[in-house]
Structure 1
Amino acid sequence: MKKLLHIDSSVLGPHSVSRQLSAAIVDRLCQTTPDIQITYRDLSATPLTHLSGADLAAAQGAASPDAALAQELAAGQSVMDEFLAADTVVLGAPMYNFTLPSQLKAWIDRIVVAGKTFKYDAQGPKGLAGDKRVVVAISRGGFYGPGTPAAALEHLESYLRGIFGFIGVTKLEFIFADGIQAGHEHREKALSSALQAVTSLHAA
């Protein structure tokens, strides 16, 4: 049975465009692969703690952690287990201040782990997650595509391409909704165009 991991990170709840798009992507993949098993994680409703020195020390075999740190480590292991088990990851990623939400960064810090999703050898780093498909729903208030005046401020798509590429993901797809803060007409047009693009996604 195929497994799908659905991640949302927007803090806007039902008003979020990235959440609408990620839900539409999951619906599309369920239609094309009816027996798919879905795991859902809402990083806004249940945020992970940010990576700390104590986390890293515990990972290197430091003394037994206290109860609070043990809980954080267990949450991090659960995130890693979900990611490793998934055949497909659907990620809702809004742009906040030209980059990704800190909640999403905390999740990424739990899945980019040496020996788990990448390793180093004589040739340098090697990704270990190349068997996964990742579909990212990006929503941005303005316009950040190549050639736009704000292109140099785009640190969301570029970061996600870099980090997933680093861990070996080659099946990486993006659905974009740009200009959602440029007025109601732009928002509706962007959402409609993105939802239309979702219908072209192939089976999971």
Structure 2
Amino acid sequence: MEIAQSAALVVVDVQKGFEEEFWGKRNNPAAEGNIAALIDLWQETGRPVVFVRHDSPAGSRSPLRVGHVGNDFKDFVEERRGKGSGRELLVTKSVNSAFYGEPSLDDWLKGEARGGAADGQRAQIVIVGIQTNMCNETTARMGGNLGYDVVFPLDAMHTFDLEGPFGWAATAEELTRATAVSLHGGRFARVVSTEDVLKGAAAA
């Protein structure tokens, strides 16, 4: 796998509110360590990093609501912000896609990632964070629609068990696999491992 020097790491919603019991049972306890490793490498190599924060309305019951401690980034992310030699962006949003946040992620990437891409090469983004089948998947689908080469390291994210219609329910692991099949099989993104990305980025 080739990870371009201009590839942007998009770190989605790694916030303290996701540690609350409100969400239920999660999967992939290795997610935070893998996210941290990717941020570290991106910062060491001067690649661009985007930190995305979900701002739920202040009056809502959401653990991610503005003014609540759950809105803050998890400590391991906050400690890394501003530490890299490359450019960095904070995007805030109130919907699932990071492309519908402020400031415009697409506009920033056009200047940052596409500016460094070789002629004829699609700009590349690597999506990590929370939740796999929600904001990560939505951002990946939209990124694919916008023409980005989307890389999706599945073990650098996690999600939660979920209940749906008709009495149906799915575990976090089942939802993760469904997301992986939909994104990869539908060619919205390349679903890979953190190790694949680390090796590709280090070798570039």
User: For this structure pair, what is the TM-score category when the shorter chain's length is used for normalisation?
Assistant: 0.3 to 0.5
Q: TM-score, normalised by structure 1?
A: 0.44
Q: Which has the larger radius of gyration?
A: 1
Q: TM-score, normalised by structure 2?
A: 0.44
